[in-house]
Amino acid sequence: MFFIADLHVHSRFSRATSKNLNLEALYQWARIKGINVVGTGDFTHPQWFKEIQEKLEPDGSGFFKMKNPPREPGLPGAKVSDTTVRFCLSSEISSIYKYGDKVRKNHNLIFAPDLETVSEINARLSQIGNLTADGRPILGLPSRDLLEIITECSERSYLIPAHVWTPWFSTLGSKGGYDSVDECFRDLSHLIFALETGLSSDPAMNWHWSALDRFALISNSDAHSAQKLGREATLFDTEMSYDAMFHALKSRDGFLGTYEFFPQEGKYHLDGHRKCGVSLNPSQTNYRSSGSPMFPQKKKLRVAITGWSLLYRN
Ligand SMILES: [Zn+2]
Ligand SMILES: [Zn+2]
């Protein structure tokens, strides 16, 4: 069956998120927008995990349903679709660590098939850092080691690098990342089968780089409020179950593609520096970085290399 998944979402326990971001709100907005599978987000946070256990129950497919789904959309006049909404146990980890003389800052999405696995992952990660301070915890744990831990907890747990082109906090970011997925995950990189591209990035641009060909490129909302749900999403045509969804990403059989935000509206689409009053679109970056005298205040300019500019520069 055709279904729409939004697998990168947060709870109200993450920093800079809406106070109203609870499971009911996610459920209601998923119904309004017609999203079938929604990440729970933040399962590493003890209080949020408690709510997940209280309010959700397994539906037998590896996904979870609400025990008492709210009837009304909570938004006057909103039309509610008849979408079946299921939750997928998910969380995001912010890893800040040193590797090869450079500080790395990577965000990764992690997924688990059942509550027992989440408990185990949380027990392991709580020995490494504080899981209570933030729904998206900051750990001094290399991405590779995070992948090792979640795989040890269950071979049906998966890691997908988040918004991979974000300059400061991602696997391929120009500031805190690496030049390849293999460099980041080393001996375990064969366990990475998908990458999240992020709001500023466009799949068509990513397709130009053959090193990404082996990954399914997914998109999600990274919603910090329930209304933002589905501003990007990933599309499937397969059985609506946890194993079938991840099998589709691994095999590309049943993975249809993504719904995309206009990349031009994304935070990192353009290069530039606000204080210097510089804003460059990709073709300008390409032209000016080749040494044009028109480059304004060249010394002060800090160019955030996004996916777009990197590919245009090649
Ligand atoms: Zn992130
Ligand atoms: Zn996020």
**CA nearest to 312, candidates 279, 288, 292, 295:** 288
Is residue 160 located within the same domain as residue 88?
A: yes
User: Is the same domain home to 19 and 168?
Assistant: yes
| 14 Cα–ligand 2 center, Å | 9
The letter for the amino acid at 273 is H
How remote is the CA of residue 287 from the centroid of ligand 2, in Å?
33
Find the ligand nearest to 106 CA: 1
Same-domain pairing of 208 and 305: no
Q: How far apart are CA 194 and CA 179, in angstroms?
A: 16
List the shell of residues around ion ligand 1, using CB closer than 5 Å. 107, 162
- The ligand that comes nearest to the alpha carbon of residue 94 is 1
Considering only CA atoms, give the Rg of the chain. 20
In the reported structure, the alpha carbon of residue 258 is separated from the centroid of ligand 1 by a whole-number distance in angstroms of: 18
Whether residue 98 sits in one domain with residue 70 = yes
**Is 260 in contact with 80 (CB distance < 8 Å)?**
no
What's the 297 CA to ligand 2 centre distance in angstroms?
A: 34
Residue 159 near residue 150, CB atoms below 8 Å? yes
Of 248, 264, 280, the position where a domain reaches its end is: 264
Distance, in Å, from the CA atom of 34 to the CA atom of 143, rounded to the nearest integer, reads 33
Q: For position 192, which CATH number holds?
A: 3.20.20.140
Q: Are 165 and 291 within one domain?
A: no
- Classify 74 in phi/psi space as left (phi over 0), alpha (psi -120 to 50) or beta: left
Phi, psi of 167 (to 5 degrees): -55, -45
pLDDT at 78: 67
- Expressed in angstroms and rounded, the spacing between residue 126 Cα and the centre of ligand 1 is 19
d(CA 303, ligand 1 centre) in Å: 20
Q: How much distance in Å is there from the Cα of 277 to the middle of ligand 2?
A: 28
* Total domains in the fold of the chain: 2
228 with 274, same domain: the answer is no
Q: Same domain, yes or no, for 66 and 170?
A: yes
Give the end of a domain, one of 228, 245, 264: 264
Whole-number Cα distances in Å, 181 to 11, 119, 192, 284, 312: 28, 28, 8, 28, 20
According to DSSP, the β-strands at 90-99 and 138-139 are parallel
Residuewise pLDDT in 10s, the chain (314 residues): 999 999 999 999 999 999 999 999 999 999 999 999 999 999 999 999 999 999 999 999 999 999 999 876 556 666 667 789 999 999 999 999 999 999 999 999 999 999 999 999 999 999 999 999 999 999 999 999 999 999 999 999 999 999 999 989 999 998 999 999 999 999 999 999 999 998 888 878 888 899 999 999 999 999 999 999 999 999 999 999 999 999 999 999 999 999 998 888 877 778 888 888 888 887 787 765 554 434 443 333 333 333 333 333 32
Contact 165, 307 (CB under 8 A): yes
Separation of CA 110 and ligand 2 centre (Å): 11
Q: Which ligand is nearest to the CA of 10?
A: 2
Do 69 and 137 lie in one domain? The reply is yes
Residue 72 CA to ligand 1 center (angstroms) comes to 31
Residue 41: closest CA among 3, 67, 15: 15
**Strand residue runs (E) in the chain:** 2-6, 37-39, 56-58, 64-66, 86-88, 90-99, 102-111, 138-139, 158-161, 194-196, 216-218, 233-237, 255-259, 271-273, 278-280
Judged by phi (left if over 0) then psi (alpha if -120 to 50, else beta), residue 92 lies in beta
Question: How far does CA 242 lie from the centroid of its chain?
Answer: 17
Question: Do both 249 and 276 map to the same domain?
Answer: no
CA of 114 to the centre of ligand 2 (A): 21
Please check whether residue 25 is in contact with residue 11, taking contact to mean a CB–CB distance below 8 angstroms.
Answer: no
- What's the 292 CA to ligand 1 centre distance in angstroms? 35
The ligand that comes nearest to the alpha carbon of residue 220 is 2
Picking from 51, 50, 85, the residue whose alpha carbon sits closest to that of residue 65 is 85
Same domain, 289 and 254: no
User: Which of 246, 264, 282 is where one domain is finished?
Assistant: 264
237 with 274, same domain?
no
Q: What is the pLDDT of residue 270?
A: 83
Q: C-alpha distances in angstroms, 272 versus 160, 262, 277, 313?
A: 28, 19, 8, 15
- The pTM of this model reads 0.88
Report how far residue 58's alpha carbon sits from residue 102's, in angstroms, rounded to the nearest whole number: 42
Residues 27 and 138 both lie in one domain: yes
Q: Which residue has the tokens 């098939």?
A: 113
Cα of 107 to ligand 1 centre, how many Å? 5
Q: Taking the mean position of all CA atoms in its chain, how far away is CA 47? A: 21
Separation between Cα atoms, residue 46 and residue 108, nearest integer Å: 19
Which residue segment(s) compose the domain that 228 sits in?
A: 2-264
3-state secondary structure of 246: helix
